[in-house]
Chain A
Amino acid sequence: MSVKNEIIFSAGGRIKEVLGLVDDGLFEEFNELRFRSKRPAFVKYRGKEYFLLNNGKLSSEGKNGDCFIPESRDIKEFIRVLSGYSLYAFSEEIKNGYITIEGGHRIGITGRTVVRNNAIESITSFCGINIRISHEIKGCGEKIKKYIYENGVCKNTVIVSPPGLGKTTLLRDIIRILSLKGKNVAVADERGEIGGMWHGMCLNDVGPRTDVLDGCPKSEGMITLLRSMSPDIIAADEIGSDRDARAIETIMLGGVSVICTIHGGGLDDVLNRTCIGQMGGKKFTRFIELRRIENKTEAVVKNEKGNVIGTEVIRHDH
């Protein structure tokens, strides 16, 4: 199914109508779609932001009357249809602020939170959605392989970047490449974005020797996979908590390699601020920083001492 059909099938109401007017080819290159109640809708296309017009076209200027401006009821109807009219079935996801749909696309949700015991119990009175479109880019990890995989051994690797630069896309391709190399890779896919699981089927190509544990908390998932799936490598997306760090240390001590991603501005930011800097004993030996330069995404590979050992362009925008 094309990206457009995956999104539109999940959509409802006026938002579905407007998205249906967008050119199919154009839709495939969208990165994000943002809909906010009573404000113009935006589309991120090839790294730049455009207004979404009522006729499905994009514009860099937002003239009154031309821009698509959703109402609160449009947002609510979208989420209602997205959930298959079963908001109760997505209470955990809504509590976390997002729902992942077929294809691994993540729909972020904002609204009024219901808080209990200082934790978000639910979100209600929806007022905004952010559709992050998952793009499988096969081959983007090929140039990185030589830095992290030597003599049949995968180095403990973390991919660092701010949001939106393609950490998950790169991680997915690295998993696929290592799986093709003969390694058993186990993935703790908390948000369902890596495998794009749908009704038990892995819709993204993660390789023939990859096992995916979908929708589980990362730390518990990684330990479960270590015990049950005899992996050579365990992968996880967006680690950050102390529990994640402890699980990773346990995995490394068990002789299994770890590849993961983390939000951050760069290696120094990650070492100073996050759980990775506080890990004792076994640590990561490869750091891949992603950065955007003009129309391309670049990966800067560093070793455990912080020295740059390679720079590769992993993605060009057309």
Chain B
Amino acid sequence: MTIKLIGAAAIIISSWVAGIMFSMKSAYRLEDLEEFKKAVSIFSDSISLSAPPISEIFKDISKRVNGPVAMIFDDAGKMAEGKNYPSAEEIFKNAVDKNIKNLYFEAGEMDCLYSFGKNLDLEYSHEQKNGASIIISNINLNQKALKEQAEKDKRLYSSAGVLCGILMCVILF
């Protein structure tokens, strides 16, 4: 009986943990989005203040943000230095595609990423700054929806995990 109780507790706890881990996907998505928003802000400030070349801005961003977003900007900075691509948009798209497996972004966030890439080939700094502002606004909207989603997912998946655990115990015992 004791062993059965211990086993049942183990099953319920592990399925609850599994539920929590499923719900973390939304949390990681939120983290990456926050880092991307930081990156866009740094970019916008850089081009209006000292206006260095894009390769330097990307490298600076890669040191000041974390996670897969930092890796995207690091790769983009190296590609921009090499000057082997026809446009900054293509550089950024290649850098994103190279790191896509590390990102938790879904369609809405990927749109923001690729929009940022398109923004890079605008000729004037004020146009790029305006574009960056629009992207930040879109990110803010996505973040709001995502926060609510993350809360719901956490409750849903942890509850589902516990229920699954109980169900498995009922079936097994």
Contact = CB atoms under 8 A, between A and B. Distances in A.
Q: State the majority secondary structure of interface residues on A.
A: helix
Contact of B87 (A9, A10, A85, A124): A85
Contacts of B53: 83-86, 89
B123 A122 contact: yes
Nearest to B52: A89
B54 A86 contact: yes
Interface in B17-60: 47, 51-55
B51 A12 contact: no
A229 interface: no
Contact of A80 (B51, B121, B124): B121
A314 interface: no
B117 to A, nearest CB: 11
Given A88-B47, A88-B51, A81 B83 contact: yes
A88 B124 contact: yes
Scoring B51, B83, B87 by chain A CB atoms within 10 A of each residue's CB, the highest score goes to B83
A160 to B, nearest CB: 37
A200 to B, nearest CB: 13
12 contacts: A77-B86, A84-B83, A85-B55, A85-B85, A85-B88, A86-B53, A86-B54, A87-B123, A87-B124, A88-B51, A88-B123, A88-B125
Contacts of A9: 83
Contacts of A87: 123-124
B158 interface: no
Interface string A5-24: 00001101100000000000
A91 interface: yes
A88 B80 contact: no
B64 to A, nearest CB: 19
Interface in B89-121: 91, 120-121
Interface in A190-239: none
A281 B122 CA distance: 50
A25 B124 CA distance: 39
Interface string A82-118: 0111111101000000000000000000000000000
Nearest to A124: B123
A87 B126 CA distance: 12
Closest 9 CB pairs of A and B: A85-B88, A88-B125, A84-B53, A86-B53, A86-B54, A89-B51, A87-B123, A85-B54, A77-B86
Contacts of B120: 85
A85 B51 contact: no
B143 interface: no
B128 interface: yes
